[in-house]
Amino acid sequence: MAHSYQKRKWFNLGIKRQLQLRILSWILLVIVISSLMSTGIFYYYSNCKIDPIDKGSHIQMHTMKDALAPWALLGISLCGFIALTVALFYPQKIAGPVYRMERGIQNIASGNLTQDIRLRSHDELQDLAREINQMGASLRERLLAAKKSSIYLDAIIQKDLPGYCSEQVVRKLQAESARLKKIFDDFSL
């Protein structure tokens, strides 16, 4: 089955929005907690007093915190910006493949066992998609074998059984064989 893919969008919250928002919120929570912890540790250890070296200096610092605070805020802001940028784009690397796998699994569930789930070459979850494809191929093989046995059984019922069994038994077996054939016809093998 041929698939056509659209060009990947850099930012698309339309695909699996709830999943992306959940991942994004967890990433942002980790960023906030780690920033608060690192800031607290920084201020705890930088609260020592320093002796002024030059009394005539125009910069008056009494603690290391006064000297390092602007640089710490700049570092925290820069790291926060980078982390926020990563947090906005990373959930899509999970949500996009999950969305495509969900569509493929829905096709398989509706009886199309020829459906293969194809992900882009650098998508996450490729191993899971490969396992789902192997599961579909295994189901397809088993159903084809069962269908072949059903056809063989139907030929026996039509040709050989009428002379050995009562007409009522033959009709029941033919009805069950027809029902089984209809079940197999619902699948796209």
List, run by run, the mean pLDDT of 10-residue segments along the chain (189 residues): 52 69 82 79 67 57 66 77 79 82 89 86 82 90 88 82 79 85 81
CA distance 19 to 101: 14
* pLDDT for position 2: 47
What letter represents residue 1's amino acid? M
CA distance 95 to 105: 15
pLDDT of 95-133, one tens digit each? 888 888 899 999 888 888 888 888 888 777 888 888 999
* pLDDT for position 86: 78
Burial 121-154 (b: 16+ CB within 10 A, else e): eebbbeeebeebbeebeeebeebeeebeebeeeb
Nearest to 174 by CA among 186, 183, 162, 184: 162
> Helix-strand-coil percent breakdown of the chain, rounded to 5?
70, 0, 30
* pLDDT for position 162: 75
CA distance 75 to 88: 20
CA distance 119 to 102: 12
* pLDDT for position 134: 92
* pLDDT for position 11: 57
* pLDDT for position 1: 44
What letter represents residue 38's amino acid? S
Strands in 114-167 per DSSP E = none
For the chain, which residues make up each domain, given as ranges? 15-51+60-110
